[in-house]
Chain A
Amino acid sequence: DAGVIQSPRHEVTEMGQEVTLRCKPISGHDYLFWYRQTMMRGLELLIYFNNNVPIDDSGMPEDRFSAKMPNASFSTLKIQPSEPRDSAVYFCASSLTGGTGNEQFFGPGTRLTVL
């Protein structure tokens, strides 16, 4: 398996533009997670899905952020409009189940820079 795939790996955009980050989880994994990593706040869970359904989006910073999972093999995280403070590395992860001790497999991340 190729692991969790994210695209693009790097994104540079201007403030006010729409940004879409993409993720393909590992086949057969029922859970998908979106994280954001910044120097100030470390790793934060933004939202997670179980069987394509959003379960907990309490980590989404504000209404400018939205996430979808139209099928088991694809998810998007969209920021509209983007702001400089959104600059961060965004990780997607997937896991087979949600049980204690179950490993989450992380993608390589998307480094977003908003100018």
Chain B
Amino acid sequence: AQSVTQLDSHVSVSEGTPVLLRCNYSSSYSPSLFWYVQHPNKGLQLLLKYTSAATLVKGINGFEAEFKKSETSFHLTKPSAHMSDAAEYFCVVIRFSGGYNKLIFGAGTRLAVHP
């Protein structure tokens, strides 16, 4: 069955430095993958999605992710962190089950950004 593993529960960076949030996936077929962000006391917002088109996916707020089949990874990156990026990030894989494509969430990575 499809699943995702987020390798870090917490990541801390300084403002202006690069961000790397790691996600590995497991899937028996070509997966559909998402990254969602959750700011404190807010709902989840889609950052970007991969659905078997270009392997480098650009999202909102300067984030991007690269699908690497050989490494079964879908890491999220941003060249320069901003204070407003502090949030929790979820890697998500689609699992087809019961006639529907369900979202399977990773455990989340909490990103802290320091001045």
Name A's B-contacting residues (CB within 8 A). 4, 42-43, 45, 48, 50, 55-56, 58, 91, 93, 98-104, 106-109
Rounded to whole angstroms, the CA-CA distance of A42 and B9 in the bound complex is 12
Rounded to whole angstroms, the CA-CA distance of A106 and B43 in the bound complex is 5
Name B's A-contacting residues (CB within 8 A). 32, 34, 41-46, 49, 51, 90, 94, 96-103, 105-108
Expressed in whole angstroms, the minimum distance between the Cβ of A53 and any Cβ of chain B is 12
Count how many pairs of residues, one from A and one from B, have CB atoms less than 8 Å apart in the complex: 50
Query: Are A101's CB and B51's CB within 8 A?
Result: yes
Rounded to whole angstroms, the CA-CA distance of A56 and B17 in the bound complex is 43
Tell me what chain A mostly uses at the interface: helix, strand, loop, or mixed.
Answer: loop
Closest B residue to A104 by CB, please name it.
Answer: B103
Query: Are B43's CB and A98's CB within 8 A?
Result: no
Rounded to whole angstroms, the CA-CA distance of A45 and B46 in the bound complex is 17
